[in-house]
């Protein structure tokens, strides 16, 4: 007989039908010669209850029905007398497909997140991680749906690259060389000409630069793939391997970019509420009691659009009124997560799109705001900044901080080159990027959304290691 997934079995109302379900035992209890097995197959957070009379089954089989064991159950679908479930299965035959003894690491309820990370190979079998990974899947579907329906093309950018998009230098090298026997030139520099690619290569930190090639040909593209950063930052929001979504759009300006960022995030959150109800309700009950309210709340809010300079003024004011920050926040400083969270969680109490950042800590490719005679610049809606600024537009979220990093791109070849020269960047490996500005250059913009940061927000989880099946962080590449 064909197996019925538990999610489908629980929807059926043809009581009396013979069905077969397969799954893993979540719990087994007994009372007055009757046993009750909660069986889960991962298709839904819900278990199906299997009921049977001890007397009708071999004692040997029932002994093997332990927490974690894998079963195939034949039985009759019946209306359930128990509260909280419409149906259950009256077992007629039970086959143990896989035994599970008492060394099974997931026996105890209430294990810590830290402990569960040490058993990442099994934690998807828990209720919480099952819910998280089903939501993760659904968010991926939301993203593809959004862009597909809005006329964007899914554009595949390389993972192995010879260029450093963000220029931060925190890349993982890719080589087939014997590291104990590296050839060096007279200056002591490694010679890569005999390496696999004939030059120094790394894993990409962002597909943006190639994404711009796509956008300036197809009009609007998006990427969705893994990215790698060798940042030695052991925080609850950083991974060495994470997934990023990077749309890039020709003819888009700053205001339209912010509209897109806001509309896109709201679409994803609404998708979760519409498509992941059972899992969200579970997380709302067990992990974060404010989750559903926070998700609904984001849909109602208009995101604040805030020039960086204005943000600094608010932070300075908070400081003057006695608010303590660990890190400095003078004009020109990159914002620390405590600053972002102050603005989002305490000051505005809603998501903020920050724009017009000083060029000192932003990337070379961002569109430069118009300079003023006194060394300042004019940005979003005519806002004046005391120094040179660029049209970076990051989205800051409650409890997450930066969820999106984006910008309008500098389309002028001369301005872009001036910035590249000012930074003394080596463009040998980026000659092709400059061609976009040389041949039919156009205004364009885009952003990168950290997929795991979105999942953090949507699940209410606190640590980014718990929203990706097998996290990669400093000193940890197990599983
Ligand atoms: O702000 P970032 O560095 O921007 C870029 O890479 C641009 N090239 C994107 C673009 O405009 N196309 O990274 C984008 C987002 C961040 O806002 C954050 O959500 C996420 O990627 N992110 C990380 N997520 C997890 N672990 C890390 N180490 C991350 N670094 C960035
Ligand atoms: Mg950023």
Predicted confidence (pLDDT) per residue in 37-92, tens digit: 999 999 999 999 999 999 999 999 999 999 999 999 999 999 998 888 889 999 99
d(CA 86, CA 234): 46
Q: Give the alpha-carbon dihedral of 177, 178, 180, 186, to 10 degrees.
A: -40
| Two structure tokens written together for 222 | 């998006």
Using the mean position of ligand 1's atoms as its centre, give its distance from the Cα of residue 20 in Å: 46
Counting ligand 1 atoms within 8 A of each CB, the residue from 206, 394, 458, 476 with the most, and so the one to mutate, is: 206
Longest Cα–Cα distance of the chain, Å, equals: 92
Kindly list the structural domains of the chain, giving each domain's residue range(s) and its CATH number in brackets, ordered by start: 6-98 (2.40.50.140), 125-170+205-466 (3.30.930.10)
Burial code of 50-75, b = ≥16 C-beta within 10 A, e = fewer? bbbeeeebeeeebebbbbbbbbebeb
Residue reference for tokens 């932070």: 315
pLDDT higher than threshold 90 for residue 352: yes
Using the mean position of ligand 2's atoms as its centre, give its distance from the Cα of residue 394 in Å: 7
What is the pLDDT confidence band of residue 167, given thresholds at 50, 70 and 90?
confident
pLDDT higher than threshold 90 for residue 237: yes
Say if pTM beats, i.e. exceeds, 0.95: yes
- Quick one: which ligand is closest to 451's CA? 1
- Which residues are near ligand 2, the ion (C-beta closer than 5 Å)? 405
Using the mean position of ligand 2's atoms as its centre, give its distance from the Cα of residue 48 in Å: 44
User: Considering only CA atoms, which residue is closest to atom 27 of ligand 1?
Assistant: 238
What is the pLDDT confidence band of residue 6, given thresholds at 50, 70 and 90?
very high
How crowded is the C-beta side of 90, counted as CA atoms within 13 Å? 12
User: Considering only CA atoms, which residue is closest to atom 11 of ligand 1?
Assistant: 447
Burial code of 17-41, b = ≥16 C-beta within 10 A, e = fewer? eebbbbbbbbebeeeeeebebbbbb
pLDDT attached to residue 451: 98
CA dihedral sign of residues 203, 250, 406, 264 = negative
pLDDT attached to residue 243: 98
Whether 448 lines ligand 1, by a CB cut-off of 6 Å, is yes
> Mean pLDDT score of the chain, rounded to an integer?
96
Kindly give the number of the ligand 1 atom that is closest to the alpha carbon of 447: 11
Kindly give the number of the ligand 1 atom that is closest to the alpha carbon of 239: 26
pLDDT higher than threshold 90 for residue 152: yes
Burial code of 194-233, b = ≥16 C-beta within 10 A, e = fewer? ebeeeebbbbbbbbbbbbbbbbbeebbbbbbbebbbeeee
Counting ligand 1 atoms within 8 A of each CB, the residue from 448, 456, 472, 474 with the most, and so the one to mutate, is: 448
Whether 229 lines ligand 1, by a CB cut-off of 6 Å, is yes
Average pLDDT over residues 415-421: 97
User: Considering only CA atoms, which residue is closest to atom 4 of ligand 1?
Assistant: 405
pLDDT higher than threshold 90 for residue 423: yes
User: Considering only CA atoms, which residue is closest to atom 2 of ligand 1?
Assistant: 405
pLDDT attached to residue 164: 87
Whether 450 lines ligand 1, by a CB cut-off of 6 Å, is yes
Kindly give the number of the ligand 1 atom that is closest to the alpha carbon of 406: 11
Using the mean position of ligand 1's atoms as its centre, give its distance from the Cα of residue 290 in Å: 26
What is the pLDDT confidence band of residue 233, given thresholds at 50, 70 and 90?
confident
pLDDT attached to residue 311: 98
pLDDT attached to residue 45: 97
Cβ-contact 385, 356 below 8 angstroms: yes
Per DSSP, the residues of 47-88 read PEEEEEEGGGS-HHHHHT--TT-EEEEEEEEEE--STT-SEE
Of 114-123, 150-159, 226-235, 430-439, the poorest mean pLDDT is in 226-235
Radius of gyration over every alpha carbon of the chain, rounded to an integer in angstroms: 27
Cβ-contact 475, 469 below 8 angstroms: no
Q: Which among 103-117, 185-199, 402-416 has the top mean pLDDT?
A: 402-416
Using the mean position of ligand 1's atoms as its centre, give its distance from the Cα of residue 183 in Å: 34
What is the pLDDT confidence band of residue 430, given thresholds at 50, 70 and 90?
very high
Integer angstrom CA distances of residue 15 from 75, 117, 124, 129, 200: 11, 41, 31, 31, 65
What is the pLDDT confidence band of residue 110, given thresholds at 50, 70 and 90?
confident
User: Considering only CA atoms, which residue is closest to atom 7 of ligand 1?
Assistant: 448
pLDDT attached to residue 182: 87
**Could you tell me how far CA 459 lies from the centroid of its own chain?**
11
pLDDT higher than threshold 90 for residue 179: no
| Two structure tokens written together for 461 | 């989880």
- Quick one: which ligand is closest to 334's CA? 2
pLDDT higher than threshold 90 for residue 26: yes
């Amino acid at each position: 007989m064909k197996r019925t997934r538990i999610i489908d079995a629980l929807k059926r109302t043809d009581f009396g039908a013979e069905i077969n379900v397969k799954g893993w035992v979540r719990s087994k209890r007994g009372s007055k010669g009757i046993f009750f097995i909660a069986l889960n197959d991962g298709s839904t957070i819900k278990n199906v209850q299997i009921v049977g009379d001890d007397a009708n089954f071999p004692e040997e089989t029932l002994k093997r029905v332990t927490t974690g064991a894998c079963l195939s159950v034949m039985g009759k679908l019946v209306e359930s007398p128990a509260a909280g479930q419409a149906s259950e299965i009256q077992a007629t035959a039970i086959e143990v497909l896989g035994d599970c003894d008492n060394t099974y690491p997931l026996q105890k309820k209430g294990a810590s997140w830290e402990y569960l990370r040490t058993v990442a190979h099994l934690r998807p079998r828990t209720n919480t991680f099952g819910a998280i990974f089903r939501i993760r899947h659904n968010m991926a579907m939301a993203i593809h749906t959004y862009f597909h329906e809005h006329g964007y093309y899914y554009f595949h950018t390389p993972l192995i690259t010879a260029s450093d998009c963000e220029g931060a230098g925190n890349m993982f090298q890719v080589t087939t060389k014997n590291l104990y026997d590296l050839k060096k030139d007279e200056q002591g520099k490694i010679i890569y000409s005999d390496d696999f690619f004939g030059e120094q290569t790394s894993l990409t930190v962002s597909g943006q630069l190639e994404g711009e090639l796509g956008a300036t040909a197809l009009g609007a593209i998006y990427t969705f793939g893994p990215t790698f950063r060798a940042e030695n930052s052991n925080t609850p929001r950083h991974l060495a391997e994470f997934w990023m979504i990077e749309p890039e759009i020709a003819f888009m300006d700053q205001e339209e970019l912010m509209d897109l960022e806001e509309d896109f995030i709201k679409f994803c959150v609404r998708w979760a509420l519409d498509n992941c109800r059972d899992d969200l309700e579970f997380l709302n009950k067990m992990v974060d009691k404010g989750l559903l309210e926070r998700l609904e709340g984001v849909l109602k809010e208009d995101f604040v659009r805030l020039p960086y300079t204005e943000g600094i003024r608010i932070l300075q004011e908070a400081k003057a009124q006695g608010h303590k920050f660990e890190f400095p926040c003078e004009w020109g400083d990159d914002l620390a997560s405590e600053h972002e969270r102050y603005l989002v969680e305490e000051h505005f109490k809603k998501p903020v799109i920050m724009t017009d950042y000083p060029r000192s800590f932003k990337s070379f490719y961002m569109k430069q705001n118009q300079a003023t005679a006194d060394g300042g610049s004019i940005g979003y809606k005519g806002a004046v900044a005391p120094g040179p600024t660029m049209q970076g537009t990051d989205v800051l979220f409650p409890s997450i901080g930066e969820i999106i990093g984006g910008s309008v791109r500098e389309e002028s070849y001369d301005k872009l080159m001036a910035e590249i020269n000012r930074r003394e960047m080596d463009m040998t490996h980026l000659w092709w990027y400059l061609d976009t500005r040389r041949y039919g250059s156009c205004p364009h913009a885009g952003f990168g959304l950290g997929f795991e940061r979105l999942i953090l927000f949507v699940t209410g989880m606190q640590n980014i290691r718990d929203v990706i099946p097998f996290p990669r962080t400093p000193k940890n590449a197990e599983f």
